[in-house]
């Protein structure tokens, strides 16, 4: 969407019956539980209108077809792209934005990187990023065009399935060779393998990232499912922030106790490429919050375009 088309859109709040509008403000967003609950309900209604085939068509041609949630997806990307370039980080605490579902942009004093960035316009970030992290080989967590564009720019793309980059030898059957500790600029990264699900295909299918930025610890576990709680191990101390997908039948309460993060933000909300039955939708979000908050009261959800910290 060009700048003129973007400017011509009516206010998103008016379009979306109570969905928060990605604003120009570069401040982190903190919402009351009441406000968050209303937004979850509003986003649920908007996302329910979009079928997987509608989302596929939008991915192909960029036409939102006036679906409120697709307009939100487009405007959220514009907001994050702008703010990531404008924001200056002075200390150890990074700036982190939610782009779409499990995709995040992280900015430190010296680095800009992505985790599971997946958007139809993700290649627009390639020239800006220092590196990209991918948790696993599912098409809702990475896009081949983005990978190729990053490599064309000579940028690092870390994963447990792509053969090159970061010294990984991530060919099929050898993903364990990706496990290790790496330094990239002012960022230290420790990788580990966890289970997407407790069936044969899902064992060690996801790569978790423990990320150290000065004294700040960020943990991202991608799709972490049933049976993987014993593998959710961190070594650099209590995570300051855990970007967590409470789906794939993981025991949320057990996982929250195991990781013991200071703050948890749920991601992978309303994956539009999935059928309704496969989305982390309103009922699942509310159950996950109810399981997590008695253990980690600072648990919330991130909507697309939110600056988390």
Say what the pLDDT of residue 7 is: 34
Say what the pLDDT of residue 26 is: 63
223 is a domain residue: yes
Q: Looking at the 3D structure of the chain, how many domains does it have? A: 1
Q: Tell me if 46 sits within 8 A of 21, measured CB to CB.
A: no
CATH of the domain at 211: 3.60.15.10
Q: Tell me if 301 sits within 8 A of 285, measured CB to CB.
A: yes
Domain span including residue 139:
38-301
Instruction: Pull the structure tokens for residue 198.
Output: 């407790």
23 is a domain residue: no
6 is a domain residue: no
222 is a domain residue: yes
Per-residue pLDDT of the chain (309 residues; tens, 9 = 90+): 333 333 333 333 433 445 554 444 567 888 999 999 999 999 999 999 999 999 999 999 999 999 999 999 999 999 999 999 999 999 999 999 999 988 999 999 999 999 999 999 999 999 999 999 998 887 778 888 999 999 899 898 888 887 655 544 443 445 556 788 989 999 999 999 998 888 788 888 899 999 999 999 999 998 888 889 999 999 999 999 999 999 888 999 999 999 999 999 998 888 898 887 777 788 889 999 999 999 999 999 999 999 999
296 is a domain residue: yes
5 is a domain residue: no
16 is a domain residue: no
26 is a domain residue: no
């Amino acid at each position: 969407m060009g700048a003129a088309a973007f400017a011509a859109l009516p206010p998103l709040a008016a379009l979306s019956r109570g969905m928060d509008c990605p604003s120009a403000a570069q401040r982190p967003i903190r919402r009351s539980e009441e406000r968050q609950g209303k937004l979850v309900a509003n986003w649920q209604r908007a996302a329910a209108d979009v079928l997987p085939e509608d989302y596929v068509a939008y991915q192909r041609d960029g036409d939102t077809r006036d679906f409120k949630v697709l307009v939100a997806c487009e405007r959220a990307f514009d907001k994050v792209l702008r703010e990531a370039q404008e924001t200056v980080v002075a200390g150890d605490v990074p700036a982190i934005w939610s782009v779409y579902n499990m995709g995040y942009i992280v900015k430190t004093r010296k680095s800009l990187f992505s985790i599971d960035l997946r958007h139809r316009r993700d290649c627009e970030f390639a020239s800006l990023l220092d590196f990209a992290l991918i948790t696993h080989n599912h098409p809702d967590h990475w896009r081949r065009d983005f990978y190729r564009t990053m490599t064309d720019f000579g940028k690092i793309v870390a994963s447990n399935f792509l053969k090159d980059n970061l010294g990984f030898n991530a060919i099929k059957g050898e993903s364990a060779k990706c496990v290790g500790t790496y330094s990239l600029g002012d960022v230290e990264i420790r990788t580990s393998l966890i289970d997407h699900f407790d069936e044969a295909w899902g064992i060690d299918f996801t790569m978790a990232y423990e990320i150290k930025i000065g004294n700040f610890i960020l943990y991202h576990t991608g799709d972490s499912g049933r049976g993987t709680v014993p593998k959710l191990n961190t070594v650099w101390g209590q995570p300051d922030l855990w970007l967590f997908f409470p789906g794939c039948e993981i025991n949320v309460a057990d996982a929250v106790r195991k990781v013991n993060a200071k703050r948890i933000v749920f991601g992978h909300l309303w994956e539009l490429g999935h059928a309704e039955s496969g989305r982390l939708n309103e009922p699942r979000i509310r159950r996950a919050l109810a399981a997590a908050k008695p253990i980690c009261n600072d648990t919330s959800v991130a909507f697309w375009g939110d600056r988390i910290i």
